[in-house]
Each structure stands twice: as structure tokens, then as C-alpha cells.
Amino acid sequence: MPMSKPAKSDLSSTAEDYVKAIWSAREWGGEPTSITALAERFGTTRATVSETIKRLTARGLVTHEPYKEIALTPTGELEALLMVRRHRLLETFLVTTLGYGWDEVHDEAESLEHAASTRMIDRIDDVLGHPDHDPHGDPIPSRDGVIRHPASAVSLAEAAPGDYCIVRISDSDSDRLVYFDEQGLLPRSPINVQSQDDRAGTTTVVTAHGNLVALAGDATRAIMLVPTPH
């Protein structure tokens, strides 16, 4: 059942960033975030993060006990999803309407998402025709905070040899996005996984451009795939 939609959040930009980061850590099967991970993410100290988490807990957005995972309450999850919606709609608008490259929009959207009103975000959604995904393939939550991910998605690092379609590419590294674009590694593009070399830690693929490419490390975890039906 969709969660009820609040009016424009009265959270600070810091609180909005935190709930979004806590939610995003687990979106594609990742581990729950931690005090240390949040400190690294925001370039601050563990003590500062701990104080912020205490404030979010007091507001009913987060649950956290010492040495246990940080989790969102239903209210915190809705706030996070509405921030994710803002971010992804803004990225889509910047690419499709203003001509930005997909490697240029993350930081712009991070700034704009705090200032844009709910009315503006909904208007952007209307103008864009209610897109399901942003330029990187990440699904865009609805106005009610509903989000849908492909059930069979796996990371390239985990994919067995065979034919797949790319459904999502992480936007965390802009230089990597430029490289992926050059190679034909794009959302909704076909890809053939040739082999997994566990000893070398590399995955060899054939891209939509017909290029034979060996990828390793974070690059293989940045790409999410679904099997191509036969």
C-alpha cells in the first residue's frame, strides 16, 4: 500500500542527505550503512555523524542502537524516497531538457534537490511524461513513495556467462561513466558476459558496440543486469 505523502519536508538539508544516504546504501543489495561509512560519505567525523543520527532518531526517522545497523523508520523511508524522487527527476530533466551529459548531473541534482519545491518536482515529472527511470537506469519513485526494481537484477560481478540487458549503472564515478559511454555500456543496452576470472578479479564482456572489454573491481559492481529472455 502506498505511503501517505507529506507536504514539503521541513527537514534540514543535512537530515535530507542522511536519510537518502541510509536508504541508498541498501537499494541494490548493498550492506546497511554505518557511522563510519556515513562519516566517509559526508567528509566529517564519527562524532558528528553520531549526533546527527541521534537527532534523526529523536524525530522518528531513524532507529539505531550501538554496534547495530542504522535503519529508517517508515516515516524516514518515505522522506528518503521523496528525496530520491527529487534527485532522479532533476537528473532526468538536466539530461533530456537542458542537454547535460549523464556524467555531469549528479552533483547538480544534489544541490537542486534541496531547493526545489514539491510543486516544481511534480511539474517536472509532468513535463517529462512521468519517466520510470533516470539517465543511469535507477527507478524513479512515484509521488506516493512507491519504487519498483527489477526482481531478477544481478550485478555484473555476480553474473554467469550469457546474454543480458543493462538496467542500471552507478553514477558515483563520472570518469567511469564517460568510459562506459564510449564502450557502449548504457542502460537498456545488450551485453554478453563472456567469462568471470575469479583469480584475476576480472569480468570480460562484449558491449553493444561490439567491443571486448575486461572490467574489474568497482566497475563490475556498478553495472546491474537482467537476463535476456530466450
Range 23-38 average pLDDT:
93
Domain span at residue 161 reads 154-227
Are the beta carbons of 103 and 181 closer than 8 angstroms? yes
The mean predicted confidence, pLDDT, of the chain is 93
Q: Which of 201, 82, 91, 90 is nearest to 142 (CA)?
A: 82
Question: Cβ neighbours of residue 52 under 8 Å, at least 6 residues apart?
Answer: 14, 15, 18
Q: How many CB atoms lie within 10 A of CB 96?
A: 15
* Per-residue model confidence as pLDDT tens digits over 104-121: 999 999 999 999 999 999
4 and 108 inside one domain: yes
pLDDT 10s digits, 164-216: 999 999 999 999 999 999 999 999 999 999 999 888 889 999 999 999 999 99
Strand 162-169 to strand 223-227: parallel, antiparallel, or no bridges (unpaired)?
antiparallel
CA atoms of 72 and 56, how far apart (whole Å): 9
| CATH at 198 | 2.30.30.90
Residues 129 and 223 in one domain: no
Q: pTM for this one? A: 0.90
Residue 65's SS3 state is: coil
Q: Is 22 helix (H, G, I), strand (E, B) or coil?
A: helix
> Given this model, what pLDDT does residue 74 score?
97
